[in-house]
Amino acid sequence: MNKVVSPKSTAKSIVMRNTFPEEVLEHVLSFIDSHSDRNSVSLVCKAWHETDRWCRRRLFIGNCYSVSPAIVIRRFRDIRSLAIKGKPHFADYNWVPEGWGAHAYPWIAALAEAYPALEELRLKRMVVSDEALELIGKKFQNFRVLVLCCCEGFSTDGLAYIAANCRNLRVLDLFECEVDDMGGNWIGHFPDSYTSLESLNVSCINSELRFSALERLLCRCPNMKALRVNCTVPLDKLAILLEKAPRLMDLGTGLFMTELRPEVYKRLAVAFSRCKEIRSLSGLWDVAPSYLPVVYPICPMLTSLNLSYATIRCPDLIKLLTHCQNLQRLWVLDFIEDRGLEVLAASCKDLQELRVFPSEPYNQEPNISLTEQGLVSVAVGCPKLQSVLYFCRQMTNAALFTIARNRPNLTRFRLCLIEPRSADWQTHGPLDDGFGAIVEHCKDLKRLSLSGLISDTVFEYIGTHAKKLEMLSLAFSGGSDLGLHYVLSGCESLRKLEIRDCPFGDRALVLNAAKLETMRSLWMSSCRVSYRACKLLGQKMPRLNVEVIDERGPPESRSDECPVENLYIYRTVAGPRLDSPGFVWTVNENWAMRSPSL
């Protein structure tokens, strides 16, 4: 029916919408989990914004400096679960100088006052001190989940405090953290009355775990679902742990090597065969191949396998993989070689994610036959492959074409050619067309890392086609500012851009200054951005923090034309940082601000 809607009837319907009961709205909103959806909900109208303020329980902060604790606390009344990310991604490779920032303590101190009912804290790339951990133990009575991913700054003393004081802890997950060893027996600090542990991941701790304490902990915690021990737990003790926790779904072993003893082997084999629920297997440091068969019984059920620390060679890898028909995720070293990847492609048709790491990243010519062919086999053979991280030493455009045509469903493609600026070894030319094919065919590509010989042409392809791209990583790429301009002006969904050693400079940045406010952050190191351009950006864009991170001293002491060492630009509503160290300057207008606390 083609009814013309009169202004009067529209006004009436708006009035009716305002009387929608708040309790009903709250109930409906509680089903909306995704952070971005909740954010959208809060923008619909003032009433919905208000409701969201009061009933939001889970919050994600992608950059700890984009907002301040005070702003968060002012807006949300009662948060129970908080996730915060700190340093930029390149910090993982030590490209962000030590002491840059991302301190967790100020956040935790503020949260302790405002949200005493906080239950979950997930921190990534933050500096977490022992004092911060003590505060968690002391202030949050119902604390349940602590996940620290790529964090540092704390020691086993801080962990002891958590163990001793968090009576309701369910999850303690330390993923790839740097933990200082203060000796002692921190695991022994879980009280005898403590029984609620469900997930424990301490694989990154280098110091010894007191086995007897670990064993007693498992005995009294009946709900253990995930256990990842560290490399100090020997193989002959693993069986004991498995016997105490046969319902584990996620297992990270310790050292997988000991002298071959039949009774040890048998006990392990029996223990593994009783663990019918293991879906994820990791650890496996220093593998003795003769012990590998003990895990065969659990292989058919595995969906996730992390062999990236395992020193197993190709023949043993192949034997293992042929048992893992249901594998969805595989992390492995380049020991797998092309032939192992062929077997993977033939055996694991459900594979979604593949990561191949270099066993000898600094060796020019290791004795390992891993080339572009391996990746092509998997791309062609595994129809569900979505996510790739691949370190290798050679590549061709032809291989990239094949991958792109066969796997348009790729969402993450990270290729690292170990030698910077490696050309297509067949044509001796750049890899532009190959990567161009990737972005053209893989329309849902969200994350891309380029390497090898790359000119500005590829950035034109990326700007034209990569409309869903959210994160782009570049190193030793491109020919000029044009490359950066294509990316900034073309990639509509871009949130994070990280660049090192590329000839990108002032012009592209200044022209696309407005774009930077639509992104979470931009990192550029060893590029060609002058201090003058930084000042210009800082002046034009008050809602950006333009950080010059330069260990050569104050940028004012050098010419304005001199390129800055590192540049980190991120949008923020919190203004310039108050905790910058001596080598970070937040550039505003005509001067560079450094924190008064220095």
Partner 1 sequence: MVAKPREQNLEFEAAERNLSPGMANQAWGLEDSATDFKETELTLGPPGESRDAGGKSGTKRGFCETLDLNLTGSNAKRNDPGAQSQQEACPTAKHPAAKAKLVGWPPVRALRKNAMRSDGCNYVKVAVDGAPYLRKVDLEMYSSYKHLSEALEDMFSCFTIRNYFNAGKLMDPVDGSEYVLAYEDRDGDWMMVGDIPWQIFARSCKRIRLMKSSETVDIEPITPPK
Instruction: Name residues contacting partner 1, limited to 8-67 (CB under 8 A).
Output: none
Structural contact between residues 188 and 164, judged by C-beta atoms closer than 8 angstroms: no
Please, what is the end-to-end C-alpha distance for the chain in angstroms? 70
Structural contact between residues 520 and 63, judged by C-beta atoms closer than 8 angstroms: yes
In the list 10, 13, 18, 94, the residue contacting partner 1 (rule: CB under 8 A) is 94
DSSP H helices, 442-562, are 456-465, 481-490, 506-511, 513-516, 531-540
Residues 6+ away with beta carbon under 8 Å from 546: 534, 537, 538, 567, 569, 586, 587, 588
> Of the ranges 78-86, 114-122, 270-278, 477-485, which one interacts with partner 1 (CB under 8 A)?
477-485
Phi-psi region of 478 (alpha: psi -120 to 50; beta: other; left: phi over 0): left
Question: Does the footprint of partner 1 cover residue 438 (CB under 8 A)?
Answer: no
Smallest gap from Cβ 598 to partner 1, in A, equals 8
For residue 559, give Cα distances in angstroms to 146, 209, 289.
47, 53, 60
- What H or E segment, with its residue span, contains residue 474? strand 471-475
State how far the Cα of 578 lies from the Cα of 568, in Å rounded to an integer.
Answer: 16
Residue (of 151, 125, 118, 152) closest to 63 by Cα position: 125
Smallest gap from Cβ 222 to partner 1, in A, equals 32
Question: Does the footprint of partner 1 cover residue 318 (CB under 8 A)?
Answer: no
Considering the complex, state which of residue 284 and residue 345 has its C-beta at the smaller distance from partner 1. Answer: 284
Q: Which of residues 95-134 bind partner 1 (CB under 8 A)?
A: 95, 97-99
In the list 464, 513, 517, 578, the residue contacting partner 1 (rule: CB under 8 A) is 464
Q: Which of residues 390-419 bind partner 1 (CB under 8 A)?
A: 391, 416, 418
Smallest gap from Cβ 217 to partner 1, in A, equals 24
In the list 448, 563, 568, 570, the residue contacting partner 1 (rule: CB under 8 A) is 563
> Of the ranges 121-129, 164-172, 291-299, 526-534, which one interacts with partner 1 (CB under 8 A)?
526-534
State how far the Cα of 415 lies from the Cα of 359, in Å rounded to an integer.
Answer: 16
Number of residues that bind partner 1 (CB under 8 A): 81
> Of the ranges 63-71, 128-136, 140-148, 452-460, which one interacts with partner 1 (CB under 8 A)?
452-460
In the list 30, 39, 40, 489, the residue contacting partner 1 (rule: CB under 8 A) is 489
> Of the ranges 44-52, 72-80, 372-380, 576-584, which one interacts with partner 1 (CB under 8 A)?
576-584
Smallest gap from Cβ 365 to partner 1, in A, equals 12
Token couple for 426:
């067949």
Question: Does the footprint of partner 1 cover residue 208 (CB under 8 A)?
Answer: no
In the list 440, 474, 544, 567, the residue contacting partner 1 (rule: CB under 8 A) is 440
Q: Cα–chain-centroid distance for residue 329?
A: 16
> Based on C-alpha coordinates, what's the Rg of the chain?
26
Smallest gap from Cβ 436 to partner 1, in A, equals 7
For residue 418, give Cα distances in angstroms to 117, 314, 363, 552, 574.
48, 21, 10, 29, 39
Smallest gap from Cβ 296 to partner 1, in A, equals 25
Considering the complex, state which of residue 18 and residue 559 has its C-beta at the smaller distance from partner 1. Answer: 559
Q: Which of residues 268-307 bind partner 1 (CB under 8 A)?
A: 285-286
Other beta carbons less than 10 A from residue 180's beta carbon: 15
In the list 252, 340, 436, 576, the residue contacting partner 1 (rule: CB under 8 A) is 436
In the list 338, 342, 353, 506, the residue contacting partner 1 (rule: CB under 8 A) is 506
Smallest gap from Cβ 427 to partner 1, in A, equals 11
Structural contact between residues 420 and 476, judged by C-beta atoms closer than 8 angstroms: yes
Q: Cα–chain-centroid distance for residue 508?
A: 28
> Of the ranges 24-32, 346-354, 355-363, 366-374, which one interacts with partner 1 (CB under 8 A)?
355-363
Considering the complex, state which of residue 107 and residue 476 has its C-beta at the smaller distance from partner 1. Answer: 476
Q: What are the φ/ψ torsions at residue 592 (nearest 5 degrees)?
A: -105, 125
State how far the Cα of 432 lies from the Cα of 456, in Å rounded to an integer.
Answer: 8
Question: Does the footprint of partner 1 cover residue 565 (CB under 8 A)?
Answer: yes
Question: Does the footprint of partner 1 cover residue 581 (CB under 8 A)?
Answer: yes
> Given the DSSP bridges, would you call strands 521-525 and 566-571 parallel, antiparallel or unpaired?
antiparallel
